[in-house]
Amino acid sequence: MAAPRRPKDDAPPPIALNKRARYEYFIEENLEAGLALQGWEVKSLRAGKAQITEGYVLVKDGEAWLIGAHISPLKTTSTHVVADPTRTRKLLLHRQELDRLVGAVERKGHTIVPLRLYWKKGHAKLEIGLAKGKQSHDKRATEKDRDWQREKGRLLRGRG
């Protein structure tokens, strides 16, 4: 049996994806951030029980926070720990990266969206994107282009 295929850029397999972000926003820059997690959250991530579609990143007091992401607690979580699935989690970034993000959000009107949650050398990482919102005509153009690429692939396969 063949091993599962990995993406071409050899990126680690994701725990959670935010496919909606690329539909709603123009992603201009990607950054990798660490996450400050509790023990039960790490166990839940290992089980793949995370959802970042509703999440967003807020920069406050010189720190970045992940808000609205949902990590479902496992049934085997300790009884003495009160698990809050949607708690605010701190993002671990270098000061230069934070300063650049703050400048882009405050001056240029960008927003920061979570794109992908994955493991890297045993640590949970979150890929965040510096994004600018799309208008409805931009979304229609994106959808039209995606449909054309799909149709083009069908035509080329049918011919060969």
Is 8 domain-assigned?
Answer: no
For residue 65, the enclosing domain spans: 14-134
Is 144 domain-assigned?
Answer: no
Count up the domains in the chain and report the number: 1
The model's pTM is 0.75
Contact 65, 88 (CB under 8 A): yes
Query: Residue for token digits 């990607």?
Result: 30
Is 114 domain-assigned?
Answer: yes
Determine the Cα–Cα distance for residues 46 and 32; give it in Å rounded to an integer. Answer: 19
Is 146 domain-assigned?
Answer: no
The CATH number assigned to the domain holding 63 equals 2.40.280.10
What is the tens place of the pLDDT at every residue in 76-134?
Answer: 776 777 888 888 999 999 999 888 888 888 877 788 899 999 999 988 999 998 888 77
Is 30 domain-assigned?
Answer: yes
Is 61 domain-assigned?
Answer: yes
